[in-house]
Amino acid sequence: MTYSTIRFEVKDQVAILTFNRPDVSNGFNIPMCEEILDAIEQVAKDERVVILQIQAEGAVFSVGGDLVEMKRAVDEDDIESLVRIAELVNEISFALKRLPKVVIMVTDGAVAGAAANMAVAADFVIASEKTKFIQAFVGVGLAPDAGGLFLLTRSIGVSRATQLAMTGEALSAEKALDYGLVYHLVEPEKLEKTTQQVIKRLLRGSINSYRAIKEMIWKSEFENWEAYQSLELELQRSLAFKEDFKEGVIAHSERRRPQFTGK
């Protein structure tokens, strides 16, 4: 596959996947999701690769779903395309958690929506002090996708996950470190150096151990993901066809507060 929305390269034992749509704050559309999944598949097949490093181009790591694409879909009554994106971002989080390699996510700036939940799916998050994790879904009348609540409740507990999902409040990098979502918190200019230090340490270990550890974690915590996935997609599809979602998207494009009616 030729990549147009991401960059992907393998350097020695490390595969580097870079989100590369900074003009739309690295928002996910269908082609981007498909390219990310293809890159993850390449990592899974490549016996040279021990670590997958995920990063992003631009000042915003990712807003999650492409807001321009959402507005187009609402205007053209093409909600099915948004449902497809919801399916794909769940597949990405699932693939990251199932990948028998180490996954490191390097974040700088806002990490919102599906991207925030992909971060929870990673094994390590190295965040700059400018990072904020945002469960942005309620702002447009949706619920978390990309396996969000399935992952968050296991990572930070039911109460904290519920509160973040229901308020859409930004979780600072410092608080995310306290919650255990972030492995290292550094100044932006130290992101690359710190990431390389972590990679150097991990490459001293055996990939056999990493495979076994991820398999045991999957069996102990995540084996019933597929049942949850069906519910997540069913509810997200239902929400996407409601008037509140359309109002949320239009309000965002008009830079005003949405007026939700529960319809």
Residue 69 belongs to domain with CATH number: 3.90.226.10
* Helical (H) or strand (E) element with 122: none
Average pLDDT of the segment spanning 61-85 = 87
| Domain span at 107 | 6-188
Rounded Cα gap, residues 208 and 255, in angstroms:
50
How do residues 5-36 score in pLDDT, each as one tens digit? 999 999 989 999 999 999 999 999 999 999 99
Residues 109, 59: contact at Cβ < 8 Å?
Answer: yes
Average pLDDT rounded to a whole number, residues 83-91: 93
User: Does residue 82 register a pLDDT over 90?
Assistant: no
pLDDT at 130 over 90: yes
Indicate whether 206 belongs to any domain. Answer: no
What would the mean pLDDT of 29-51 be, rounded to a whole number?
Answer: 97
Contact present, 90 and 147 (Cβ < 8 Å): yes
Strand 14-19 vs strand 51-56: parallel, antiparallel, or unpaired? parallel
Residue 246 lies in a domain: no
116 closest CA partner among 61, 155, 77, 78:
61
Q: In what order do the strands lie in the sheet with 110-112?
A: 110-112, 132-134, 170-172
Q: At residue 215, does pLDDT exceed 90?
A: yes
Query: Is there a domain that residue 197 lies in?
Result: no
- pLDDT reading at 157 higher than 90: yes
Instruction: Name the helix (H) or strand (E) containing 134.
Output: strand 132-134
pLDDT at 256: 85
pLDDT of residue 263: 85
H-helix or E-strand spanning residue 48? none
Across the chain, mean pLDDT equals 93
| Torsion angle of the four alpha carbons 155, 156, 157, 160, in this order, in degrees rounded to the nearest 10 | -140
Does 213 reside within a domain? no
For residue 254, what pLDDT is reported? 82
Mean pLDDT, residues 245-252? 84
Task: Give the chain's length.
Answer: 263
Number of domains in the chain: 1
Q: Are 138 and 163 in contact (CB under 8 A)?
A: no
Average pLDDT over residues 76-91: 90
Tell me if 250 is assigned to some domain: no
Computed on alpha carbons and rounded to an integer, the radius of gyration of the chain in Å comes to: 18
Q: What is the CB neighbour count within 10 angstroms for residue 193?
A: 9
Residue 113 lies in a domain: yes
**How far does Cα 88 stand from its chain's mean position?**
11
Token output for 141: 């009348």
Give the pair of three-digit tokens for residue 196. 């390389």
DSSP 65: B
88 within domain boundaries: yes
The answer to whether residue 224 is domain-embedded is no
Output the pLDDT for position 218: 94
